[in-house]
Amino acid sequence: MDICSGQGFYRQFCLDIPTYRMNRTFLYLPILLMVAGCAVRPKKSFDLRLTPPAPDYALLANWAAHPDLNDPADQTPCPYVRNMQDSAVVDVFFLHPTTYTGASRDQRDWNASAADAGTNEKTDNTTILFQASIFNGAGRIYAPRYRQAHLNVFFGKDTSSARQALDVAYEDVKTAFRYYLEHWNAGRPFIIAAHSQGSRHALFLLKEMVEGTPLQKQLVAAYIVGWPVREGFFAKLQPCRTPEETGCFCSWRTWERRFALKHAFERDVICTNPLDWTIGEGRHVPKSANMGGVIRPFCSVIPNIADAEVYKGVLLCSRPRFPGSFLFRTKNYHVGDLNLYYMNVRENAEERVERFLEDQ
């Protein structure tokens, strides 16, 4: 089923949902697309009694990244950028995207177990390494494992079960954030960063626990990437409009330029250009402004990999060029939302931290 032709729940996620089937790397994309239809899916309706137990966030095992762990978020892709977590005075609360995709027979539940070794290994070696590491120059990284909803919640017909599975995942995110605040924050400024399903949860976390509370004064910035943020969703929290603005949020979803120009997108969605950090339409920023993307291998930065332009709530990007890019045929660049702009996002997070601390 093409979710973009649906109504109600499906229409809510049309052009908003990541193409999760493109999850590990651009180079394996054609193979992933061929086998996507064979993914294991939940067969029965959601049953809370069958949901895996909630994680105990007092246990470091339930954190994919943590300052007291040696984890992939500590890595950097090149020698001229450093992991600065040991001296950081800011924290980063990072929410990873969906890695529970039905890739094996035991991935048939609506929610993943936070103790699932296979899912956790995939999380650590993909999103924590390639996305959370972006922020290790800006702050100490906390990335909770949570009972993430199965990939199928975004594509299946059982919308009631999908909503309940997402609610379970979000409850874990809230619990983890509360535990972080109570035991490790100690009044420190923080960044909230997320991608895809993680950004869906980050939206509600910001609205419920940060916006309009004393915590809002501690918010350096939020990077809510790969999920739509509707105009007016927040009452007080505003989109960032300059590279140095703080206490605001950034959000974008990346699509191939020519494809996006031919299709109807939505103008009531906030979109940030991660090359100049503005939200206005009509400004094309060339690839020359791209400091470098990180795809694979991790220890390789590819400068000038992608351009960027805001258009009707999405980010236009000409086809990236990198080794093996002749296999890259998809029109939805969701998998590269952060990685295509890795070094620019990294520098921007550090710049906002510097400005936030100067203003205190």
pLDDT tens for each residue of 219-261:
999 999 999 999 999 999 999 999 999 999 999 999 999 999 9
Three-class SS state of 162: helix
Task: Evaluate if residue 324 carries a pLDDT over 70.
Answer: yes
| Residue 31, token pair as written in the block | 């193979």
Query: What's the pLDDT at 9?
Result: 26
Task: Evaluate if residue 325 carries a pLDDT over 90.
Answer: no
CA separation for the pair 249, 220 (Å, rounded)? 9
Nearest-CA neighbor of 13 among 155, 171, 149?
Answer: 155
Three-class SS state of 22: coil
Task: Evaluate if residue 338 carries a pLDDT over 70.
Answer: yes
What pLDDT digit, counting tens, does each position of 20-54 carry? Answer: 322 333 333 333 333 344 578 898 999 999 999 99
Model confidence at 312, pLDDT cuts 50, 70, 90, reads very high
Task: Evaluate if residue 313 carries a pLDDT over 80.
Answer: yes
Number of structural domains in the chain:
1
In terms of pLDDT, which residue wins out, 322 or 176? 176
Q: What is the DSSP string of 136-161?
A: TTTSEEEEE---PBPGGGGTSS-HHH
Domain of 221, in residue numbers: 3-358
Query: What's the pLDDT at 108?
Result: 87
**Within 10 A of 278 (CB to CB), how many other CB atoms are there?**
17
| Residue range 302-312: mean pLDDT, rounded | 96
Query: What's the pLDDT at 104?
Result: 82
Query: What's the pLDDT at 103?
Result: 82
What's this model's pTM, rounded to 2 decimal places?
0.90
**Amino acid identity of 12?**
Q
Residues 6 or more apart whose CB falls under 8 angstroms from that of 145 comprise: 55, 62, 63, 64, 114, 120, 123
Task: Evaluate if residue 155 carries a pLDDT over 90.
Answer: no
In terms of pLDDT, which residue wins out, 12 or 236? 236
**Within 10 A of 182 (CB to CB), how many other CB atoms are there?**
10
Rounded percentage of the chain residues whose pLDDT exceeds 90: 79
Q: Residue 293 belongs to what H/E stretch?
A: strand 293-294
Query: Dmax over Cα atoms in the chain, in whole Å?
Result: 54
Three-class SS state of 39: coil
Query: What's the pLDDT at 33?
Result: 35
Query: What's the pLDDT at 15?
Result: 27
Bridge partners of 315?
254, 310
Query: What's the pLDDT at 51?
Result: 96
Q: What is the DSSP string of 63-110?
A: EEE-TTS--GGG--SSTTS---GGG-SSEEEEE------S-STT--SS
Residues 6 or more apart whose CB falls under 8 angstroms from that of 167 comprise: none
Query: What's the pLDDT at 326?
Result: 66
